[in-house]
Structures are given as C-alpha cells and as structure tokens.
Structure 1
Amino acid sequence: MWSDCTPGCATHALPRVPATRGARRLAAFTHAMRRALTDGERMADPGRLSAHARALMAALGIRREGTADRFTVPAGGPGTLIVVNHISWLDIPALLAVEPVTLLAKREVGGWPVVGGLARRAGTYFIDRGSPRQLPHTVAELTGILASGRSVAVFPQATTWCTAGQGTFRRATFQAALDAGAPVRPVTVDYAQGGHAGTVAAFCGEDTFIASLRRILTARALTVRVTAHPALAGEGRDRRELAALAERAVLGGRVPTGPSPTGPSPTGLLPGEPGVPAPRPAPEPAARHHV
C-alpha cells in the first residue's frame, strides 16, 4: 500500500518559534532521550515507559489532548487489538504516553532514532512489510499474543499519511482479532497547531528523521490529540466488515450506525461501551473501500 503524501506535505500552519526556543527544546529533548536510554531494562516497566514517552513529548513542546482513558477493554480474556491511523514517528510516544501497550510495527521503525529504542523497550513485534510470505505467520503470532491476554496496537494503513482522514486499512490484523476472540479498539491520532489542522508533524515518503525533528522543534503551538473510540465486537462479522467499521471510526471519527445483516449488535460495539446509539430501521449506504 502506497501513500500519496511526500515530505512536501509537511508544512507549518503558524510562524515558527524563535531559534532560541527551538534550541532549548533540542536540549530538553536530548536530555529526555538520554534519561530514557540510560534507564536500560528498567524502561520496560509500564509506568516508566509512559513517563519517558510523556517527557519526550513535553521536551518537544507538544501538548497532549484527548482521551486519558486506557485503550484496552477490561476483561479477563483476550487482549485488545488497538488500531490506529499513522501520521508520524510521534504517534508511538503519543500512544505510549497514554498506555504502554505492545506495538506491531514495520521493521524499519526499530532503526529510528529515539523512537526505535522506545518501541523495542515496549516489546514491539517487528514485521517485514515487504514479505507477503510472512503474513500468515504474522497473523498467527498476533493471534497468540492477543489470546494470551496482551493488548497490541497496530497501524493497519501500513504507511504514513499527512492527515488523519486519509488512507485505507489492510485487513490481515483483523483476522487475528477474530481468531483470538479479541475486541477491537479504534484510536485516532491527529495533530494541530494553535487549534487549526496542520501537517507539520507528518513523516511521509522519503522524509528523514532529522528533517522531521527540525520541523517539530520549530513548530508553534503543536498539539496531539489521541481519541479512543468505542470498542468493536467481532462476533458475527468477517475481517472485511470489521476493518471497514474500524476504518470509518478512525479516519472519520465516527462509527457507522447501520445494522449488520449477521451481527448481534447494530453497530458492532461491545455491550456497555459508551456512545452506542439505538438501532436504526435501515442501514446507511455502504462506504467504498479499497481491496
């Protein structure tokens, strides 16, 4: 799956901060990074991992907004499959700052400065996106992780986009949720500057970490909003329908209200989840999704 976004998509929506402020942010970021890396194996502790992620975001001058709730669905059974849109390398510390769940990420993420170390300490499961032969093995491994009770966050777009409303979801990871009987939690990550939509945080195409970091260090009033939508039930659905429901929730910020022809819930939401609307007499027109 390819993104139409390029480094040219990443632009400042507001005037840059003064160079002196950018320099102070860089010093604070370097300090926070060193503290995280020198923590060694202790950084795997969930509380410490979240604290380091929050410290890195604060050092960059990024204010966090949105849900303060955990992503995982409280239960004594399988873990939760957390599906998230992908915009930037910042998505990883933004998620870990809320809840240090296991991540499923492309192999290249492990080599990213700073974020790669955080991801490894979080117990990230790295996969080779360029090897289709590994896909059945990856789905089986993910099924086992979820069945063991561990929750996993995945980026089903498989690539980055400059805004939260673009791209489509690949379906393979949703099969793992179905096989494990795991709930699916759609989560939207979005960035803004001064309350206005912005793309300065985007990390797309042939962009480099250094170039991206420079933009972020000089970004004025940058905020990240992490929104956890109501969890989806997989019972009575196939991976196509489950992926479509999650995609609409994440990319559109809403869950479709049309009844499923086979599912027990008119929205696919888990019983007791907030925001479950009453059944509608007729389904909405089906959304178009790429195969």
Structure 2
Amino acid sequence: MSAWLPSAPCTPGACVEPARTAAAVPRAVLRLTAVTALVLAGIVLAPFARRRGRIPAEWVGRWCRMIVRAVGVRVGLTGAAPPAGGLLLVANHVSWLDIPLLTAVRPARMLAKAEVGKWPVAGALAARGGTLFIERDRLRALPGTVARIAGALRGGAAVTAFPEGSTWCGRAHGPFRRAVFQAALDAGVPVQPVSLRYRQHGGGPGTAAAFVGDDTLLASLWRVARTRGLVAEVEIRPVIPPGSHPDRRALAHAAQPPTPGPAWTHTALLADRPMTSHTAPPTAQGMTRAR
C-alpha cells in the first residue's frame, strides 16, 4: 500500500447518522441553489481577476466563507492567526466542507489526489487554484512529490494537507502519515495544526457532515443542506516552529489532533452560540455568524 493511500473504516451505512432535525425541502433546495450560484460565479470571475494579477487572498477567503454559510453551516473559530510566509497547514479530514473552511482561515495551495484534477469543473478550479496533485498509487513518485511540496514551501507558499490520507466520520481520527512532514523539515518552515469538528446544534459530535467510504458528493451535499443546526468548529492550534522536532515521525505525532472523547463533547456543549477567535485572522472574520 502506498504511503499516500491509507484507508478508513468509516462508511455511510455504519457511521453517518440521519439528521435528527431536517430543514424543509424548499429550504434545502435554496441552499444548494445558492452554493451552485457561488461556484459558478467563482468559475466565471476567476479568469477576469487573474488578468489583473494574483487573486487577493482576502477574496478567496470571503468566497469560501460564503459557500459554507450558504449551505447552512455555522462556524466557530478559536486560536491565533497562522503566521505569514511558507507554512504547512495540516488538519484531520472529515468532509468536503474541510476545504472551504481551511481556505477561509488561510488561503493556500491544496494537496490532492491526482484523480481530482480529472473531475469536471472541480478539477479545473483546483488546478487554477494551484493545487499540488499526488499520484497516490505510485510509491516511486513519493520523493518527487515531497520535493515539489518543499519547493513551494521554500518559495513562501502555504500548503494545506490532510495527512490522514482519507476521510473519517469525525468520531475517530486516523494516524497522520509522515511523508508530507518531510517537506516541512526540508524547507525549514513551521507546521500549523488545525482540528476540525462537526456537531449538531445542542449536541455532541455529529456525523451529518462526514463524506466517507462510497458516499457521493451529491448525497453528502443534500444531507448537509437538509441538516439544521450544523456547526463546524475550527481550532487553530499552536504553531510548531521549524527545528523543534528531530524527524518527520516526531513532527507528525506533535501535529496529530487530540483523540475525540468526553472532554471534546463537554467543550462542544458549553455554548449554544459559535465560538469566536481570540485573535482571528483577517480572512476568518465573520465566519462565526449564523446562517
């Protein structure tokens, strides 16, 4: 098995619970219509924006926040703003929602499997956004991929990766694979860990947002749009400075999110309103407003 190709035991039938409270069908349709309109607007406007130079990171972050809000998800943000410059941003992987959430926190080049580049519409958008594609089934390609990531980091780019290599339902996490952390060591840049958690309003960890196993994107979109009171909690954890860990194994272990448990549930139940950041990054301001 490739170092890029781990698997998760989570499946829609075993892990994803039906929404306890569902939005009316017309409201869900309106939400999906709004998301579709935003995506199409991004496709149409991106080439015009690029003609004037690089698309401002603030625009990208605002667009991602609008997508998350349009689908009916409230967002709570805690932690300090990620540092500027070259940075490896890593997070656990639960849902397709993870991508706009992290991009709203810190616009960055995304790490994705090569198959994503062949997807209609989404593949073209990913390529235009500077996505670094991985050939996950070719172990021989691993050193070259790490070198490409390190090169981007040395050039001052932020790169976002999901080191679990697969989505999990959110009630458990997979181990962080070590390969991507070698790029941070080689480039001498900090690592920014982020923990992503989803719950339904008034409850503990929920799986409505999970995009796992043989689940389809359309089915997941519909489930999220129909779920009322879905909250995404984004915890920006302390940055790991370069040189603080001797090897990629230790670095991956340090970046690993805490195991979900009673403490997690208690924190999620402390307040009915979304959490706010103590020092929210400019691109994350306004993420906590309810839809």
TM-score (norm 2): 0.79
Greater relative contact order structure (CA < 8 Å, 6+ sep): 2
Listed as ranges, the gaps of 5+ residues in structure 1 are 254-273, 275-291
Query: 5 Å matches for 1:6-85?
Result: 6-8=11-13, 9-41=15-47, 42=49, 44-67=55-78, 69-71=80-82, 73-74=83-84, 79-85=86-92
Confirm or deny that 1:214 pairs with 2:222: yes
Structure 2: how far apart are the matches of 1:57 and 1:118?
17
Residue 100 of structure 2: aligned partner: 93
Structure 2 unaligned spans of 5+: 1-5, 261-278, 280-291
Output one character per residue of 1:166-216: Cα deviation in whole Å (capped at 9) or x when no partner.
101110111111111111111111111104211011111111111111101
Over 3 Å counting, the alpha-carbon distance change for 1:27 and 1:13 in structure 2 is: closer
Deviates more, 1:20-29 or 1:216-225: 20-29
How much has 1:114 moved relative to structure 2?
6.5
Deviation at 1:12, TM superposition (A): 3.3
Q: How does 1:1-291 map to 2 (within 5 A)?
A: 1-8=6-13, 9-41=15-47, 42=49, 44-67=55-78, 69-71=80-82, 73-74=83-84, 79-111=86-118, 116=123, 118-163=125-170, 165-196=172-203, 197-235=205-243, 236-247=245-256, 250-252=257-259
Q: Provide the rounded CA distance (Å) in 2 between the counterparts of 1:70 and 1:173.
A: 22
2:195 match: secondary structure: strand
Compared CA separation, residues 66 and 117, structure 1 to 2 (3 A): farther
SS of the aligned residue for 2:8 comes to coil
The 3 A distance-change label for structure 1 pair 25 and 113 is: farther
* Letter aligned with residue 248 of structure 2: R
The CA RMSD measured in Å over matched residues stands at 2.1
Q: Distance in 2 between matches of 1:114 and 1:191?
A: 27
- Asked if the contact 2:168/2:210 (under 8 Å) is kept, the reply is yes
Q: Secondary structure at the match of 1:210?
A: helix
- Answer whether contact 2:91 2:194 (CA < 8 A) is retained: yes
Checking the alignment, whether the CA contact within 8 Å between 2:171 and 2:207 is kept in structure 1 is no
- 1:84–1:188 CA contact under 8 A, matched in 2: yes
Structure-2 change in CA distance of 1:168 and 1:224 (3 Å) = same
Superposition TM-score, scaled by structure 1 size: 0.79
Give 2:77's aligned amino acid. G
Please identify runs of 4+ aligned residues in structure 1 that moved more than 6 A: none
Q: 224-233 or 117-126: which moved more?
A: 117-126
Distance in 2, Cα, partners of 1:195 & 1:110: 38
- Secondary structure at the residue paired with 1:39? helix
Q: Secondary structure at the match of 2:89?
A: strand
Residues 49 and 122 in structure 1, CA contact (< 8 A), matched pair in contact too: no
Partner deviation per Cα, 1:74-114 (whole Å, 9 max, x = no partner): 46xxx111111111111111111222111111123335576
C-alpha distance in 2, partners of 1:221/1:112?
31
